[in-house]
Amino acid sequence: MAIELQHDESVRDLVVRTERFIEQVVLPIETEFDGDITAAGGDERRIDLQRQAKAAGVYAPHAPVEFGGLGLNMCDRAPVFAAAGYSVFGAVALNIGAPDEGNVHMMAAIATAEQKQRYLAPLVAGDMRSAFAMTEPAPGAGSDPSALATIAEPVDGGWKINGTKQFITGADGAGFFIIMARTVGKPGDRGGATMFLAPADTPGIAVGRHIPTIDRSMVGGHCEVQFTDVFVPNADVLGEPHEGYRYAQVRLGPARMTHVMRWLGVARRCQDVAVRYVAERQAFGSVLGDLGMIQQQVADNEIDLAASEALLMVACAELDRGEHASNSTSIAKTYAAEAYSRIVDRSMQMCGGLGVSDDLPLARLQRELRPFRIYDGPSEVHRWALAKRAVGQAKKAIRNEADHG
């Protein structure tokens, strides 16, 4: 089977135009406001950046063409998302940031025609934002989704939802929520969840405290949200009742990879900043970049960048073929999240005092990169899942051997 390792000309052209847009429009704003989207104007700034992205022809590369996007598959998204990710405001500008990007992907696959017109179309257009309400305070759902404690009960014409969520990205100012609630069973049971669409002004939805986190580039914060007797009509059930976990997989694997894509851009920027610095900085009779210890750090960054991209593309190819890609997405997400942290750390070290100062962007890039080892599944959970599958396959093989021995 032929393996294509090069994107076609239209994608390469889009990457170049995205790079130009990020350099000329987005990076100056990020620098002015130290990567803090709230200080930059929040939704008002988002709307302006997206207007300019549309004018530049680089807006919504992932979204369906029928709703105004460019319709790229996972493999073709990768270099475009990475180009946008060179700035921590790039995802906001192109409307490819979490949670909206993942919600666009999922709704395009499973929403009804009516739901697409009501929710997906304005989301793609940037007329509203969304939030995915899954994570709960302990002992509720988090890394273990089966602990889901929010309850949806059937009532006349629909469902009534009660529960508390936390770390809901983009909740403040979102136009609608995708709510994961239990409709069958009890916390700890596998399955039994349903996804619901609910406009943010639905009675009973209350967005509470912004939970302070070190990252500052996502519009709408990471919030606590309370759902009290929230009525959702049957027409706003997303997918089939009780199949929410299965449908969520449509979102989770690709969303993990688009995180890898975006933060790849950030990691490349860290390396670029460091390499430029050590190529100019004079010390110990030469430029720093001629010293062996510095060269090893430069080379290790190059290796981590290349390995992350290679693992990303393997996972994207599997997803584009319609495969579940559980192993490949977990491997790519875990390796890249940790590799990017190594890259920014080495880059800061190579730049010395400037590396931890505000004179270079490395310190703010580190605060954005560090949460990636937790978001969309901590590294430890992905490792546990990978090991569980590997050991399970070995046990199955041993049983088969015994049965046929």
Out of 2-16, 126-140, 223-237, which region has the weakest mean confidence (pLDDT)? 2-16
CATH tag for 247-397 (out of 1.20.1260.10, 1.20.1250.20, 1.20.140.10, 3.10.20.30): 1.20.140.10
**pLDDT value at residue 2:** 56
Query: What is this structure's pTM?
Result: 0.96
Q: List Cβ neighbours of 153 (8 Å cut-off, separation of 6 or more).
A: 159, 160, 162, 183
Residue 319 binned pLDDT confidence (cut-offs 50, 70, 90): very high
Residue 1 has pLDDT above 50, yes or no: no
Sequence spans of domains, the chain: 9-97, 130-242, 247-397
Q: Decide: helix, strand or coil at residue 1.
A: coil
Average pLDDT, the chain: 96
Q: What is the pLDDT of residues 26-59, one digit of tens each?
A: 999 999 999 999 999 999 999 999 999 999 999 9
The answer for residues whose C-beta is within 8 angstroms of residue 142's C-beta and 6 or more apart is 135, 136
pLDDT score for 248: 86
Quick: pLDDT tens for 65-103.
999 999 999 999 999 999 999 999 999 999 999 999 999
30: its two tokens: 């990020």
Nearest 5°: phi and psi at 18?
A: -65, -45
Write out the two tokens for 163.
Answer: 């529960």
Beta-bridge mates of residue 178: 132, 197
**Residue whose entry in the numeric block shows the structure tokens 């273990």:** 144
Residue 5 has a pLDDT of 76
What's the mean pLDDT in 207-218? 96
> Which CATH architecture best describes the domain 130-242?
Beta Barrel (2.40)
Backbone angles phi, psi at 402, to 5 degrees: -65, -40
Token pair listed for 122: 């304005």
Q: What is 9-97's CATH topology? A: Butyryl-Coa Dehydrogenase, subunit A; domain 1 (1.10.540)
Q: What's the pLDDT tens digit per position in 354-384?
A: 999 999 999 999 999 999 999 989 999 999 9
DSSP 3-state assignment of 209?
Answer: strand
